[in-house]
Amino acid sequence: MPSTQNPPIAGAAIDPPSLRPPIDDAAIERVQPSRLRERLEALKRDGCAILLDLGAVDYLRRTPRFDVVYHLLKLAPVRAGVAEVATPMRTRLLCGVERDEHLPSVMDLWKSADWAEREVYDLFGIVFDGHADLRRIQMPRDWEGHPLRKDYPMRGPARERAPRPAFANKSNVVAGTPPTGRTLEALQEQVKRARES
Amino acid sequence: MRASALPTTEVVSHDNTMVLSMGPQHPSTHGVLQIVLEIDSENVVKADPEIGYLHTGIEKTAEGLFWTQAQTVIERMDYLAPSSNALCYALAVEKLLGITDRIPARAQTIRVMDMELTRIASHCVWLGTHGIDLGAISVFFYCFDLRENILDLQEANGGARMHPNYMRVGGCNGDLPGGYLAKLDALIEKFPGRMRELRGLLQANPIFQDRTIDVGILTPEEALQWSVTGPSLRASGIAYDVRKAFPYTGYDSYDFDVPTRTEGDAYARFLVRLDEMEQSMRVVAQARKRLDEPGPVMIDDPKIALPPKETIALSMEALIHHFKLISEGFRVPPGDVYQAVESPRGELGYYIVSDGENRPYRVRTRPPSLYNLQALKGIAPGNLIADLVVMIGSLDPVFGEVDR
């Protein structure tokens, strides 16, 4: 069983993944945020028709702190009728981002970046400039904090001190008391009365 | 009916459009999907799906669990095809461990068989509920009868109907039980007849055709823009299938076709999925032949695989390995990897980062349902509200996966 404390926060020991030899079949590149947009446009022109995925990783103690990870899929050009897909290829683009740094949105290149960027914003707090509708997607609108950050506590004392959403602080809910007053004593009393009658 | 629907270009926002919330309790939204609709009489001007009602923080939870334990929660993402989640995760971890080549052949065969059976079971739920959405109630019972046979098989090898947790890092959890192959043979025998019935109920049904043909057309360009994968992409004329493009766990040694259509409408997606079920059974039948040969189903590495239960009482080493694996798990060398499989809904991918510890550092999922569902924003405008139900059904989203 996992302990009730927070798992140890690692991250300082991790090299940027692109410095190690790749173990999957994707071509791996690392770009600076300033050159990201340019590079993605070039890749799209080059035939990367699908933005497979857009996610992020928090390397807490590293600089830059976050990696935003783009996975692109290159397909053969679409011909009329049934397109044969010859030699598809994946490309992974990693972009290091500091905590307050913004990234350019790629919503205009791939429409699917819409929800993916909203999710990264929601769970990591990374802002994408130029996104038409950047708001929370998975968490409730009034949620505070970004849960997939490594310093966002899951459980343990730090979690108790973390900001709670408004709906969790309702005064009529008292921990440990069943809502309808059906306590064990009341039930035992009821059973006892039923037996006596 | 569709003749009254205005073409997309003519439906625009004006003073008399109405904003209406559909869901999250609407029965045809297959879970908890809310769509904020802007409508002009019966025509959809804009559809904005609201998701997140089922967000359970699975990716965050996985970061606090051992590599093996994390699989238990990960399997709960796509609850209609739990094996595909589990397999994709296991394959990714195996790549990080560098043991991909050491997985026993029998384990790989079982994995392929289980994946394809899961695909059929998942498509059965899709077909049944899609039929119900359109008022064809009886299809549901035929589909669930077939699915029940497959769930029986899953229960036999994994011990649970919904989340068998049978795929493990390094192989499968125990060999197939006695009597399994006989049951599988019976299913393979029964399947073509059942498929004929399913096709007979819907394929030439004029009401069904009227509701689905030319509804929710997804052009190939749009499909790529929205990152749609799986049967929905193949119904738009692009034959991309991860099993063929990036073969994993021995798929390149099986003989099967990738069904494709060019129309891109809801009916094409229906046909592609039906064809896919038959192709899946073709693969299952090929895997069945290979299963006659006995062999190990788990990697022979005491640092990763649990020792057989009976050896624990007899061997000190087995007891130590068992204790170490249960109490602190195994460590995975640092690195990152992207692994994808063809789940019943499309390309399911995991981007996993390890920092060398006994817990995953980051488990990023590429859920096919999330991207497929997003395409609704592109195909809904200009259609009738009643057709929206058809479009959601034909994209086959699973909300455990969309929201995670």
> A73 and A5 in contact (C-beta within 8 Å)?
no
First to last CA, chain A: 48
Q: Are residues B46 and B64 in the same domain?
A: no
For the stretch B277-296, pLDDT in tens is 999 999 999 999 999 888 88
pLDDT value at residue B115: 92
From A2's Cα to the closest Cα of chain B, the distance in A is 6
* Closest residue in B to A141 (Cα–Cα): B52
- B11 and B90 assigned to the same domain: no
Residue of A1, A48, A50 to mutate, interface with B, max B Cβ within 10 Å: A50
Q: What is the ipTM of this complex?
A: 0.85
A164 DSSP assignment: -
The number of helices, as runs of H, and strands, as runs of E, in chain B is 17, 8
Q: Does the distance separating the beta carbons of A23 and B364 come in below 8 Å?
A: no
Q: What is the band of B6 on the pLDDT scale with cuts at 50, 70, 90?
A: very low
Task: Please indicate, yes or no, whether residues B211 and B336 belong to a single structural domain of this protein.
Answer: yes
Q: Which residues of B touch A90 (CB under 8 A)?
A: 246, 338
Computed over every residue of chain B, the mean pLDDT equals 87
More confident residue, A11 or B347: B347
Contact list, B51 vs chain A (CB under 8 Å)? 115, 137-138
> Which of the residues A67, A78, A106 would you substitute to probe the B interface, choosing the one with the greatest number of B C-beta atoms within 10 Å?
A78
- Chain B CB contacts of A7 under 8 Å are 63-64, 359
User: Which whole-number Å values give the CA distances from B100 to B96, B168, B341, in the listed order?
Assistant: 9, 13, 15
Q: Nearest-CA residue of chain A relative to B99? A: A23
Kindly state whether residues B196 and B294 are assigned to the same domain: yes
Point out the least confidently predicted range of B13-22, B37-46, B318-327, B372-381. B13-22
Among B285, B128, B261, B281, which Cα is nearest to B198's?
A: B128
A191 vs B371, more confident: B371
**Residues A49, A51, A54, CA angle at the centre, nearest 5°?**
165
Q: In chain B, which residues have their Cβ closer than 8 Å to the Cβ of A26? A: 338
Q: How far apart are CA B158 and CA B176, in angstroms?
A: 9
Closest residue in A to B238 (Cα–Cα): A83
* Cβ neighbour number for residue B12 with a 10 Å cutoff: 12
- Give yes or no: residues B29 and B144 share one domain: no
**Residues A71-119: pLDDT tens digits?**
998 876 544 444 454 567 888 888 888 888 889 999 988 999 999 999 9
Q: Are residues B7 and B70 in the same domain?
A: no
CA–CA separation, B40 and B241 (whole Å): 39
Cα–Cα distance, B119 to B344 (Å, whole number): 5
Compute the C-alpha angle B333/B339/B343, nearest 5°. 140
Domains contained in chain A, CATH given:
17-158 (3.30.460.80)
Taking contacts as CB-CB distances below 8 angstroms, the residues of chain A near B336 are: 17, 57
Q: For position B396, what pLDDT does the model report?
A: 87
- Asked if A57's CB is within 8 angstroms of B361's CB, the reply is yes
Share of chain B above pLDDT 90, in %: 30
Question: Residue B32's pLDDT band (boundaries 50, 70, 90)?
Answer: confident
Q: Do B197 and B234 share a structural domain?
A: yes
Residue B9 has pLDDT above 50, yes or no: no
Q: For A112, which of B227, B356, B364 is closest by C-beta distance? A: B227
Question: The domain spanning residue B172 has which CATH number?
Answer: 1.10.645.10
Residues B200 and B110 occupy one common structural domain: yes
Please write the tens of the pLDDT for every residue from B292-341: 888 888 888 888 888 888 888 888 988 998 888 888 888 888 888 899 99
In this structure, the answer to whether residues B91 and B113 fall within a common structural domain is yes
Q: What angle do CA A38, A43, A46 make, to 5 degrees?
A: 130
Question: Is the model's pTM score more than 0.80?
Answer: yes
Say if residue B255 is in the same domain as residue B320. Answer: yes
Measuring CA to CA, how many Å separate B360 from each of A52, B70, B309, B375? 22, 8, 27, 31
DSSP state of B129: H
- The residues near A124 (Cβ < 8 Å, ≥ 6 apart) are A56, A58, A66, A146, A148, A149
DSSP string for B186-253: HHHHHHHHHHHHHHHHHTT-HHHHHHHTTSS---HHHHHHTT--THHHHTTTB---HHHHS--TTGGG
Q: Are residues B74 and B12 in the same domain?
A: no
Check residue B284 and give its pLDDT: 93
- Which residue matches tokens 């927070």? A6
Which range has the worst mean pLDDT, A11-20, B196-205, B303-312, B382-391?
A11-20
Domain hosting B36: range is 2-50
The amino acid at residue A10 is: A
Least confident span in A7-11, B204-208, B258-262, B344-348: A7-11
Q: In this complex, which of B52, B95, B366 lies closest to A24 when CB atoms are compared? A: B95
* Token pair in block for residue B361: 């550092």
Task: Read off the pLDDT band of B343 (50, 70, 90).
Answer: very high
Spatial neighbors of A78 by CB under 8 A, at least 6 apart, are: A49, B220, B221, B224, B237, B238
Q: Which residues of B touch A69 (CB under 8 A)?
A: 351, 364
CA neighbor of B377 nearest in space, from B81, B15, B45: B45
What is the DSSP-derived secondary structure letter of residue B134? T
d(Cα B266, Cα B392) in Å, to the nearest integer? 9
CB atoms near residue B352 (< 10 Å): 27
Q: How far is B140 from chain A (nearest CA, A)?
A: 31
- B362 neighbourhood in chain A, CB within 8 Å: 57-58
Q: Would you state the pLDDT for residue A8?
A: 45
Query: Can you read off the two tokens belonging to residue B311?
Result: 């050896």
Closest CA to B48 of A126, A115, A113, A53: A115
CB contact under 8 A, B57 and A85: no
> Angle between the B137-158 and B105-133 helix axes, to the nearest 10 degrees?
160
Verify whether the Cβ–Cβ distance A85 to B240 is below 8 Å.
yes
- B348 has which bridge partners? B341
Q: Are A162 and A153 in contact (CB under 8 A)?
A: yes
Our count of domains for chain B comes to 2
Q: Are B183 and B152 in contact (CB under 8 A)?
A: yes
**Claim to verify: residue B44 and residue B164 sit in the same structural domain:** no
